[in-house]
Structure 1
Amino acid sequence: MYIHPLNRWKDDAELGAFIQKNAFATLVTQIDNRPWATHLPFVLDENKDGNTVLSGHIAKANPQWRNLSENMEVLVIFQGPHAYISSSWYNHENVPTWNYMAVHVYGKIRFIEGEELLDHLKKLVNSYEDGRPNRISVETMSENYVAKQLKALVGFEIVITEVHGSKKLSQNRDDVNHQNIVKNLQESNFHQDRELAEEMRKERSYSSKT
């Protein structure tokens, strides 16, 4: 993706935290020379060789997996909060724009099955059940039921080769206009607007009361 130099995001710890927070992402490959995308939850992890990886699974009914092969390069897109920025929020004439946070991950596919696939499912379920009432886990499900579900899935691990992050948070604006954008987003009825306002506030490091 195109990334303006001001918006390039390189902090590995921040990028990792962003991926984990926004782990429902888009797997992009090609089928018959056409782009194909599937929306999937991923687990950011480290494999037995010490490589940073994304693990996921896809339904066997989805034709995308049939066009995957070992070591094929794929793209996974993670998107965070985003919001329309009205030009009425500036103290000077300007065009409207859009602020957003996004990460593109490139990597090489490796298929996983058996215990590796089961381990992936355990980690995935545990991560999303954390903090929920009446928490369930793969371990509490019957072996026969789990085995039947596994047969309907194709598991894979993506060894990460490149990470490209774009954090467009009005970095090019002076404090007066930046704060006014934050104020308008904070007053919005849309949750993502308020979430983006908090990210902008943290990036510029001033009080939310400003």
Structure 2
Amino acid sequence: MRQNPSFAMTDVSELRRVIADNPWATLVGRDADGMTASHYAILLDPDRDDLTVVGHVGRPDDLVIGLGQPEQELLLIFQGPHGYISPGWYGDLPAVPTWNYIALHLSGVPEILDTEENLRVLEHLVDHFENRFPSPRGIWTAPNDEGFVRRLEAGTVGFRLTPTRVVAKRKLSQNKPDDVVENVILELSRDEAHPQPALVAEMRRAHDARMAAKAARR
């Protein structure tokens, strides 16, 4: 992903927030036949405060993305809110259509988890998503029994990845004048045909941060 200093994301807390809010990731690796992409839910490692993530793939996806091969890197792509931006929203200025978005690329050599650690990651994954429901079901909840869960685990490969390369981009009209950004936010907010509340929230967050930085420099 080509980086632009105006759009670079470097704040680890913000990167963690985006990952936590958008856990459905694209995993890109390679085997003897070339590049392959798979798609899985990936979570921040609950025992770390950096960008280390944990997840799993189902067999044989581990083979087709080269998971566990010595020195074989894995690329994880997290995509935040995104949407079309009309040139008509820029006012009386020369402009072309564009797309606003947030994207994070984490690269590194993953660590393969043993059985017990993989079970803990699977349990964490289930709890993470089930806890939003009134009556959550954990991985060990009946009718699941230990034998069933362990057979399930045997069909997966768990991993932990601490990225050695991070490329993160938040392209949210930061290169436009303040009044133009405000108008884009307004137009997105009232676009009933293609509502983008999550993108509006991210644009407002980025714009408010930019305005606060400007005020601090005065």
TM-score by length of structure 2 reads: 0.86
Residue in 2 that maps onto 1:55: 54
Residue in 2 that maps onto 1:8: 8
Matching of residues 91-110 of structure 1 within 5 Å: 91=91, 92-110=93-111
Name the CA distance, whole Å, in 2 between partners of 1:127 and 1:107. 24
Say whether 1:150 aligns with 2:149: no
Name the CA distance, whole Å, in 2 between partners of 1:164 and 1:5. 11
| Offset, 1:22 | 0.7
Residue in 2 that maps onto 1:26: 26
Maintained 8 Å contact 1:29/1:36? yes
RMSD of aligned Cα (Å): 2.0
Where structure 2 has 5 or more consecutive residues not aligned to the other structure, the ranges are 212-218
| Offset, 1:161 | 1.4
Identity of aligned residues (%): 33
| Offset, 1:148 | 1.3
The AA in structure 2 aligned to 1:32 is A
Say whether 1:185 aligns with 2:184: no
The AA in structure 1 aligned to 2:40 is L
SS at match of 1:171: coil
Name the CA distance, whole Å, in 1 between partners of 2:203 and 2:65. 38
Matching of residues 38-117 of structure 1 within 5 Å: 38-45=38-45, 52-62=51-61, 63-64=63-64, 68-91=68-91, 92-117=93-118
Residue in 1 that maps onto 2:136: 135
Residue in 2 that maps onto 1:123: 124
Give the number of aligned pairs.
204
- Cα deviation 1:69-101 (Å, max 9, x = unaligned): 144211100001101111111111211111100
- Cα deviation 1:38-78 (Å, max 9, x = unaligned): 00111211669x87522111111334255641442111000
Name the CA distance, whole Å, in 2 between partners of 1:64 and 1:4. 32
Residue in 1 that maps onto 2:214: none
Name the CA distance, whole Å, in 2 between partners of 1:100 and 1:185. 13
Name the CA distance, whole Å, in 2 between partners of 1:67 and 1:105. 15
Name the CA distance, whole Å, in 1 between partners of 2:180 and 2:107. 35
Where structure 1 has 5 or more consecutive residues not aligned to the other structure, the ranges are none
Maintained 8 Å contact 1:44/1:52? yes
| Offset, 1:194 | 2.2
Maintained 8 Å contact 2:7/2:169? yes
SS at match of 2:3: coil
| Offset, 1:137 | 0.6
Identify, as 1 or 2, the structure richer in strand: 1
SS at match of 2:84: strand
- Cα deviation 1:138-162 (Å, max 9, x = unaligned): 1323101101111211112212212
